[in-house]
């Protein structure tokens, strides 16, 4: 199928690393931390990662993290090319695992159409955060924030709360910047087992409250 695009006119932003943290330079003059930086600075999340690394050892943890990052990058590029009607499998020669995961996700991707933007930078002066959203498009006919993820194994809803908080942040940015309201936040997870998980939620008040809590902690601790 060919995907229809209804491009949203967006403004690109430069980003820079400051003390290992990503900041975006916004058109309004603000220098805002990325949403992934803000969420990642949460002490509970950092403690959980530290416990995992201690449990399996630094060398193995680094190997797993590098493999997951590479797999995720390749999968994202495949999805982006596919939705842009520009997919060429020869471009991904030798990428056996992410290619398998992508092919098993095609049926889910066919539920997307009327694509407003992919991989665009958004920001909020109100929240003082910024980020780069995977996809803004209709999912099952309704405008949504769509996030593409990969995983070694299937996840439960309670395990992906940070994804939902991040997607809620993008929904807030989209409403503030372009007066476009989304009622769906969609997380598509391609698993190494070959399964594809689809979590369809709404940008709930509880996600926004946790986002603000993460932001406040970040501002207090790092700014």
Q: How confident is the model at residue 30 (pLDDT cuts 50, 70, 90)?
A: confident
Look at residue 9 and tell me if it is in a domain.
Answer: no
- Backbone φ and ψ for 94, nearest 5 degrees, come out as 85, -5
**What pLDDT is stored for residue 43 in this prediction?**
82
Q: Angle at the Cα of 59 (from 55 to 60), degrees rounded to 5? A: 60
- Judged against a pLDDT cut of 90, whether residue 46 lies above it is answered with no
**What pLDDT is stored for residue 188 in this prediction?**
98
Look at residue 89 and tell me if it is in a domain.
Answer: yes
**What pLDDT is stored for residue 64 in this prediction?**
86
Is 49 in a helix, a strand, or coil? helix
- % of the chain beyond a pLDDT of 90: 87
- Judged against a pLDDT cut of 80, whether residue 1 lies above it is answered with no
User: Which residue range is the domain that position 35 belongs to?
Assistant: 14-222
Q: DSSP character for 5?
A: B
**What pLDDT is stored for residue 29 in this prediction?**
87
Q: State the chain's mean pLDDT as an integer.
A: 95
- Judged against a pLDDT cut of 90, whether residue 168 lies above it is answered with yes
**What pLDDT is stored for residue 223 in this prediction?**
84
> In CATH, what number is assigned to the domain containing residue 158?
3.90.320
Per-residue pLDDT tens digits for 112-163: 999 999 999 999 999 999 999 999 999 999 999 999 999 999 999 999 999 9
**What pLDDT is stored for residue 11 in this prediction?**
86
CA proximity to 114, closest of 132, 133, 136, 134: 136
What are the residues whose beta carbons fall under 8 Å from the beta carbon of 150, sequence distance 6 or more? 68, 71, 72, 75, 98, 101, 189, 190, 191, 192
**What pLDDT is stored for residue 125 in this prediction?**
95
Q: How confident is the model at residue 19 (pLDDT cuts 50, 70, 90)?
A: very high
Look at residue 5 and tell me if it is in a domain.
Answer: no
Look at residue 107 and tell me if it is in a domain.
Answer: yes
Paired with 144 in beta bridges are 137, 184
CA proximity to 81, closest of 115, 36, 131: 115
The average pLDDT across 171-186 equals 96
What's the CA gap between 106 and 85, in Å, rounded?
A: 13
**What pLDDT is stored for residue 89 in this prediction?**
95
The average pLDDT across 88-110 equals 96
Look at residue 142 and tell me if it is in a domain.
Answer: yes
Total domain count, the chain: 1
Look at residue 79 and tell me if it is in a domain.
Answer: yes
**What pLDDT is stored for residue 214 in this prediction?**
95
**What pLDDT is stored for residue 52 in this prediction?**
85
Q: How far is CA 15 from CA 32, 70, 73, 186, in A?
A: 9, 21, 19, 26
Look at residue 4 and tell me if it is in a domain.
Answer: no
């Amino acid at each position: 199928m060919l995907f229809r695009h209804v491009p949203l006119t967006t403004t690109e932003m430069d980003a820079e690393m400051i003390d290992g943290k990503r900041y975006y330079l916004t058109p309004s003059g603000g220098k805002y931390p990325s949403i992934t930086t803000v969420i990642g600075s949460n002490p509970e999340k950092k403690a959980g990662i530290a416990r995992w690394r201690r449990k399996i050892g630094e060398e193995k943890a680094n190997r797993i993290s590098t493999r997951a990052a590479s797999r995720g990058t390749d999968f994202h590029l495949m999805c982006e090319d596919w939705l842009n009607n520009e997919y060429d499998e020869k471009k991904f020669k030798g990428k056996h695992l992410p290619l398998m995961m992508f092919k098993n996700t095609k049926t889910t991707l066919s539920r997307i159409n009327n694509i407003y933007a992919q991989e665009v930078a958004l920001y909020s002066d109100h929240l003082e955060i910024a980020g780069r959203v995977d996809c803004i498009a209709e999912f099952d006919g309704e405008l949504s924030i769509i996030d593409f993820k990969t995983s070694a194994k299937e996840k439960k809803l309670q395990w992906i709360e940070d994804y939902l908080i991040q997607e809620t942040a993008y929904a807030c940015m989209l409403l503030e910047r372009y007066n476009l309201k989304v009622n769906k936040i969609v997380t598509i997870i391609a698993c190494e087992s070959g399964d594809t998980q689809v979590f369809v939620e709404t940008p709930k008040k509880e996600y926004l409250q946790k986002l603000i809590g993460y932001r406040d902690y970040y501002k207090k601790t790092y700014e």
